[in-house]
Amino acid sequence: MKAADAAVYCLRARKRATAATSSTRAYGVSTTGEISAKCRCSMRGGRLMHKSSLLRMEWFVQNYVSAHDKRTRILDVGSYGVNGTYRRIFDDPRFEYVGLDIEAGPNVDFVPESPYSWKELADDSFDVVISGQALEHIEFFWITVAEMTRVLKKDGILCIIAPNGFAEHRYPVDCWRFFTDGMIALARYVNLDVLHAHTNSAPSKDNKEWYSATNADAMLVARKPYSGKPVLVDLGRYKCTPADPRAVGQGMVPYVAHVNGIVHRIYHRIGRSIGVI
């Protein structure tokens, strides 16, 4: 995550970086002034925001955020815009969207001095914290999730979308892939209440744009039931209790059911064409 990690990427980053200044709005930042445009590598990496990720974030907003009738502050962690961001999903005047990344650039409102310690951001300063297509590029992602939890208000909602599939795409590193159990483990690590989790699933088996045989995503929605700094799991007492994927998926239809539906339709089409069905 530091400049010394990969000079070639940082040279490219320096060419892209612009002199950005912090907004006078209260982002929960303790001081205002020039946002660092030092050579850094973005959390999100260099690939495009795929449609299924946008669909999942839209679904999250519709089901967990849209009912809010008050000013709602949104922090997007790993917000650097390559080709598509979540910002348009939060264009309602009720939402105050703040994009955070470790490199200044498009769709980035705030760059913390340290990628793993956002001391400029106050505890309990955002109603919703989101992140999409970023965690795989963060070496110590659980530290980042703890910071996301710290700045989230009590009863605030966390949403993470991260790859389950995809080929390796180093920018400058590509470290992780995620399953439903991994998403649940993240919530348990910082003692969040799991509201929803799934991998490569959709509201209906006919929502084909949500699915992928090779480029699937995992998703977590969780609630912070306390105030202040993250309350980490007591590993001395912790015992693994597997979650029921159907329960945490809340009616989402997994990829295998989608494939079975396609096979079933093909079978009947062929059967009718030859007079068997």
pLDDT tens digit string along 92-103? Answer: 999 999 999 999
Domain boundaries, the chain: 3-273
pTM of the model: 0.79
> Of 25-29, 34-38, 190-194, 250-254, which has the strongest mean pLDDT?
190-194
Predicted local confidence at residue 271, as pLDDT:
62
DSSP 130: E
pLDDT above 70 covers a percentage of the chain that reads: 76
Which residues neighbour 67 within 8 Å (Cβ) at sequence distance 6 or greater? Answer: none
CA distance 170 to 153: 33
Whether 27 shows a pLDDT value over 50: the answer reads: no
- The band of 265, judged by pLDDT with boundaries at 50, 70 and 90, is low
Q: Residue 128: enclosing H or E segment and its boundaries?
A: strand 126-132
- The band of 205, judged by pLDDT with boundaries at 50, 70 and 90, is confident
Q: What is the mean pLDDT of residues 82-100?
A: 93
Predicted local confidence at residue 46, as pLDDT:
47
Question: Which is the CATH superfamily of the domain at 3-273?
Answer: Vaccinia Virus protein VP39 (3.40.50.150)
Predicted local confidence at residue 261, as pLDDT:
56
CA distance 86 to 167: 23
